[in-house]
Structure 1
Amino acid sequence: MEKLISYILQFRHLNSQQIQLVKENVSTLELAKDEYFSEAGKIPNKIGFVIEGILRVCYYDREGNEVTRYFVEENNFAVDINSFNNQIPSTEYVQAIIPTKLLVFSKSSMQNLSDTIIDWDNIIAKITNKSLIAKINRISPMLAEDAKTRYLEFYKRFPGLVNRIPLNYLASYIGITKNSLSRIRNELNK
């Protein structure tokens, strides 16, 4: 819980009553490996803050291939914000790739905090902005690079994730096959 509070306090000071209110409006959720936090085709009704574990955000392309867009690791929020805010079905899946523990805000608890804490919507806007910038930075720099460079860039930027996520998800994220990724890793380990 303290990690969540510390994260929120980066964006605005809250007094002890407001902090207590945040704590009262959050619940704990544990996901098993491969369990979904939210699914495509459904309207997301919760926002999660990852305490332990890793989530991946993925979708299916037109050919039916599963594509990993990005990963959400500890001390980050997970939600399809557009679908959550506009109450429309999501186009993405959010799945635990290892056992994952989250602190979760429901739609109604978010509304309660918005109604009670004067600057809550501003805090959420700042968190959303920070998350969107991080998401863009996770995706765009690697698009024009060759496969080996994309892997090395991922390794450099997310060293804590490389050995925690399955190869097929990492390969999907950097846009190559699992076999190609294995070849690149073997080449680099020589």
Structure 2
Amino acid sequence: MEKLKQALGFGGILSQDDIDYIVSHFKVVNVKASAHFHLIDVVANEIAFVCKGIFRVYALDPEGTDVTKYFVRENQFMVDLESYYAATPSKDAFQAVVGSEIGIIHKAALNKLTEEIPNMYIFLKSITEAHLLNKIKDNDFLNFGDAKTKYLEFTRRYATLAQQVPQQYIASYLKITPQSLSRIRNELTKQKC
């Protein structure tokens, strides 16, 4: 849980004693590839921290096809914020792309910690803001350029994801067909030769 301790040190808001106490409330869980941390239509009542691995966040389109919205990487927290704060059924699912290890804390435990540790509220607010800004930044390139340009930008920004995430999830995230992505990858491979 060393990575979680480092993440809780973000901004120097929490003391080392507070961090150690908070970490003691997290439960470490191993999640197999393709297994879910959170499902659609379930109210989010847990927050997870990705110690190791990658998750994809997806929703269902009107035809019932799952569409990858974004990826959660190591050293990031994950939760459906709207579901968590409004106590409404989630529209998103969180699925492990590869075997992963996460630390989970229940909402009740987090609420108790917020009452016990004065700076916890400030920390949660700063982490939430950072999370939202990262989501905006992560997706800013999806609205510009053709499929090849988007794929090249994805591989530039997220080289590790490009190597570890299955092609169909990358294609879904880039809003192109797996066949188009395969053509782009083949074209780029030929250009390197």
Q: Distance in 1 between matches of 2:110 and 2:31?
A: 21
> Do structure 1's residue 166 and structure 2's residue 178 form an aligned pair?
no
Alignment of 1:107-146 (within 5 A): 107-146=107-146
Displacement of 1:25: 1.0
Could you list the per-position Cα deviations for residues 147-180 of structure 1 after superposition, in whole angstroms to 9, with x for gaps in the alignment? 0000000001101110100000000000111111
Q: Distance in 1 between matches of 2:14 and 2:162?
A: 36
Gaps of 5+ in 2: none
**TM-score if structure 2 supplies the norm length?**
0.95
Question: Partner of 1:181 in structure 2?
Answer: 181
Displacement of 1:87: 1.1
Displacement of 1:14: 2.7
1:46–1:79: 8 Å Cα contact kept in structure 2? yes
Q: Distance in 2 between matches of 1:17 and 1:180?
A: 52
Identity of aligned residues (%): 36
Give the RMSD, CA atoms, in angstroms. 1.1
Alignment of 1:30-179 (within 5 A): 30-179=30-179
**Which protein is richer in helix relative to its size?**
2
Letter in 2 for 1:55: F
Q: Distance in 2 between matches of 1:132 and 1:74?
A: 17
Structure 1: 4+ residue segments shifted above 4 A: none
Q: Distance in 2 between matches of 1:175 and 1:168?
A: 10
Letter in 1 for 2:154: F
Q: Distance in 2 between matches of 1:54 and 1:25?
A: 23
Question: Partner of 1:28 in structure 2?
Answer: 28
Q: Distance in 2 between matches of 1:64 and 1:86?
A: 24
Letter in 1 for 2:185: R
Gaps of 5+ in 1: none
Q: Distance in 2 between matches of 1:141 and 1:166?
A: 20
1:142–1:153: 8 Å Cα contact kept in structure 2? no
User: Which of 132-141 and 4-13 deviates more?
Assistant: 4-13
Tell me, what secondary structure is at the counterpart of 2:47?
Answer: strand
Tell me, what secondary structure is at the counterpart of 1:162?
Answer: helix
Q: Distance in 2 between matches of 1:72 and 1:141?
A: 17
Letter in 1 for 2:6: S
Tell me, what secondary structure is at the counterpart of 1:132?
Answer: helix
Q: Distance in 1 between matches of 2:69 and 2:174?
A: 9
Q: Distance in 2 between matches of 1:19 and 1:170?
A: 35
Give the total of aligned pairs.
Answer: 190
Could you list the per-position Cα deviations for residues 13-72 of structure 1 after superposition, in whole angstroms to 9, with x for gaps in the alignment? 433431221122111111111111101100011101001110000011012221000000
**TM-score if structure 1 supplies the norm length?**
0.96
